[in-house]
Amino acid sequence: DAGVIQSPRHEVTEMGQEVTLRCKPISGHNSLFWYRQTMMRGLELLIYFNNNVPIDDSGMPEDRFSAKMPNASFSTLKIQPSEPRDSAVYFCASSPVQGPYEQYFGPGTRLTVT
Amino acid sequence: GENVEQHPSTLSVQEGDSAVIKCTYSDSASNYFPWYKQELGKRPQLIIDIRSNVGEKKDQRIAVTLNKTAKHFSLHITETQPEDSAVYFCAASIGGNEKLTFGTGTRLTIIP
């Protein structure tokens, strides 16, 4: 099993640009989570999906952030327009169908907005 | 919603000694408590978990204890080694809910 796959691993962009982060969950997992990690705020849940349907997006910071899961094997997190304060490591995680829901994290995308 | 508090935020122990990290949770409906280890520059990885019908679970040098009455759980690492240096996160989830609420993390440093 390849585990959770994220791309790109590193992204450097200028303020105002659109950024798209990608995630492929572990095959057979039906829940997918997007987290943001910074030194100041720790590990924050942004949004999670169950069976491709967004269940809780209360952690999405503002309208500049959007996430989609068009099918069971792919999800995107988009930031438009990006700002320097969005600089962080973004993790995607997935968990299996049956509880109690161990989450497996991807390697993360380190985003730097200049 | 659930709230998880974790203490201490930093912990330094001599190699070979034991380390204990404590977490409290607010929602009595929580029934799943995993612990994650995150090494520098790496992803969080599950190291041990406990369910609410168990009071203690052990896996080699690590153990987790759960006190449902007091709503707290702890991670114990014995015979610490340099490779135990990392940030440790506790988490909790409410029965039937996939969402984990994480603690703020403990940076553990093992002094050789």
Contact A105 B49 (CB under 8 A): no
What is the tens place of the pLDDT at every residue in B64-94?
A: 999 999 999 999 999 999 999 999 999 998 8
> Within its chain, how far is the Cα of A57 from the centroid?
12
User: How high is the pLDDT of residue A54?
Assistant: 94
- Test A102 with B34 for CB contact under 8 angstroms: yes
How would you write the pLDDT of chain A (114 residues) with one tens digit per residue?
689 999 999 999 999 999 999 999 999 898 999 999 998 888 999 999 999 999 999 999 889 999 999 999 999 999 999 999 999 999 999 998 665 578 999 999 999 999
B17-67 pLDDT, tens digit per residue, is 999 999 999 999 898 999 999 999 999 999 999 987 779 999 999 999 999
B-chain residues near A43 (CB < 8 A): 44, 89, 102, 105
CA distance A74 to B1: 28
Strands of the sheet containing A65-71, edge to edge, are A5-7, A19-24, A74-79, A65-71
Strand-pairing partners, residue B109, are B12
Hey, is A84 helix, strand or coil? helix
Nearest CB among A43, A101, A108 relative to B98 is that of: A101
Nearest CA in chain B to A6: B43
d(CA A40, CA B45): 21
Q: Residue A85: helix, strand or coil by DSSP?
A: helix
Do B85 and B21 contact (CB within 8 A), yes or no? no
Distance from CA of A13 to the nearest CA of B (A): 20
